[in-house]
Amino acid sequence: MHRVAADPLDQLRTRTSAKWRSYDPDVLPLPVAEMDYPLAEPIAEALHAAVRRSDTGYNSGSRPVADAFAEFAAARLGWEPDPARVTCTADVSMGIVEVLRQVISPGEGVIVNPPIYPPFFDLVTEAGGAVVEVPLAGGIDEGWALDLDGIEAAFAAGARAMVLCNPHNPVGLVHPREQLAALADLAARFDAVIVSDEVHGPLAQPETPYVPFLTVSDAAREHGVAVAGATKAFNIAGLKAALVLSASERGDAVRTAFPYEVEWRMSQFGAIASIAAFRHGGRWLDGVLGSIDDNRRLLADLLADELPEVRYRMPQATYLAWLDLSALGWGDDPAAVALERARVALANGPMFGAEAGRGHARLNLACSPEVLSEAITRLAEARGSAVE
């Protein structure tokens, strides 16, 4: 498999995105989920061509993006979504909120599974719901899984929906088909809705292909709504485009009840870039997956050599690593110590769940091997520092 090389560090520091404008120049920034790889050439060319023809107006609706995604999903993901059952919007988080607004009443419970992408907590409350935490079962040593008994109990207690992270950020878990089918059966039994965030799906490694939730069963299609996009896999989050997908009349009713303005929030450049990514970005994505695979294995070797007390399980998907740094004695939020003493920026573990994230941090693997190696060396050199 060919590889896509990360841009040089001095070139990366000319970027003006959050990852490169949130820290001092001596910090290695590895918290934000942005890749250090150059933009896929088909996407870059599509955007340049749009500028040359002054194609900077409003997007023309969901169907062009939906058609391109359907082709991509069929070819790469084992999924044949119906393009007529898609409503686009600006980003995955916005899609999740709009779905929740349609399926819960104010104050009703919505299940999330810590450690989890931190905005999920806010998305639930933005939609008027109450967060119900059902942490993942298992852990770094044995691997993680959905706590189906805990989810069943939460539904029985009145929760009306669940936001599923599929694959799961930050642990990189690819949920097995049988667990997803069991989750769908629970949703059917309690007449609940599963809102499945599938934006990391194309970033599953070849040996652990992810399973789109809407493909697992009739119950999943009846009680599920998926949200997807090109933004994570192709590093175009700033261009603002996502897809909300349904696969039943019940799911269709959720989408068609969205306010009219939801679809217009997708940007024109986001639509153009997404279409180029889905239709012409496959070779670039394969190269990125190869580079991420190299780095997830490199990280295991670096930790074994330099920080053996840090616990890590290679992610099956995403370009994110969930690290247990508890043994370093750096407190509940070791990322704060890493920034101060090692000048390495990691994502704050407790933000992913106060209990599940204590003593942990998330590291972005989508960088050069040199940057990754330097980061672990810096952390190892700072290991003797304890929180005062």
Q: What is the mean pLDDT of residues 152-157?
A: 98
- Collapsing DSSP to helix, strand or coil, 139 comes out as strand
Alpha-carbon distances of 52 from 46, 55, 279, 292, rounded to whole Å = 10, 8, 21, 34
User: Quick check: 335 and 347 in contact, CB under 8 A?
Assistant: yes
Query: Which pLDDT value is given to residue 388?
Result: 44
Residue for token pair 């950020």: 169
Q: Which amino acid is at 82?
A: D
- Which of 278, 282, 277, 379 is CA-nearest to residue 321? 379
Q: What is the mean pLDDT of residues 42-71?
A: 98
Q: What is the mean pLDDT of residues 144-172?
A: 98
pLDDT band at 385 (very low <50, low <70, confident <90, very high): low
**DSSP H/E element including 194:** strand 193-197
Position 151 pLDDT exceeds 90: yes
Average pLDDT, the chain: 97
Q: Tens of pLDDT along 185-242?
A: 999 999 999 999 999 999 999 999 999 999 999 999 999 999 999 999 999 999 999 9
Q: What is the mean pLDDT of residues 74-86?
A: 98
Strands lying side by side in the sheet with 311-312: 311-312, 320-324, 360-364, 347-348
Position 386 pLDDT exceeds 60: no
Query: Which pLDDT value is given to residue 387?
Result: 44
- Which of 136, 188, 141 is CA-nearest to residue 164? 136
* Structural domains of the chain ordered from first start: 9-39+283-381 (3.90.1150.10), 44-280 (3.40.640.10)
What ranges in 84-164 are assigned the alpha helix state H? 92-103, 119-126, 148-156
